[in-house]
Structure 1
Amino acid sequence: MGRGAVNNYSLKNHVYTFEVTADKSNIDYEIHSSDADIYFELYNLLGQRVNDNFYGTGMCVEAIEETTKGKYTLMVATAKRDTKGAYSFNIFGNIYNLQKVESQSKIIEDTWPR
């Protein structure tokens, strides 16, 4: 699971995108982790937060959203920075093109010349 913290959009968290194919269609998603407290944020195409919620360890996030056609972004996070663990994620509805957004990281160490 992610390494960021809640209330901050961070690519240290896991980010997924998907497209809803029909207006006024419901999407039903479930996120479960027995390792960490779960937090998620759902954003629409304009980057507006559609929903967010927090659940404790071992609890299952279950949400049903009435959506409009378009692209959505779902961020799955942990409640505490640098928390790690496994989770399962299921999504159902008139969606396609579900993808995980991959990010890169690199630590660069250097020195200033004297």
Structure 2
Amino acid sequence: MARIFVCHDDALPDGEAIKVDAPTTAIAVFRVNGALYALNDRCTHGNASMSEGYIENDGTVECPLHAARFCLKTGAALCQPATEALTTFPVALVDGAVYVDVPEAA
């Protein structure tokens, strides 16, 4: 695993998301109700950026193009048109900075 710097903790307000480019994929990092989550940034239904989606206080994000909803904790697709889950990634808060752990490029 590789640890990728996302941002300083205070740069990601509650209810917001940020996109980070990792070596193998783009990742969306969210803060909802104080908790941090990381998912693959591309919707499994279409070519939409999840970091630009609609973040809900119930721990879900809605795709900005086709209204598919995903669980931030598990990545599960919660409604049509998406049927495939988003990949999740571990998030760490270390010394005031947010990091995401991603598989290393082959």
More helix per residue: 2
TM value normalised by structure 1: 0.29
Q: Which has the larger radius of gyration?
A: 1
More strand per residue: 1
TM value normalised by structure 2: 0.31
Q: Which has the higher contact order (CA 8 A, sep 6+)?
A: 1
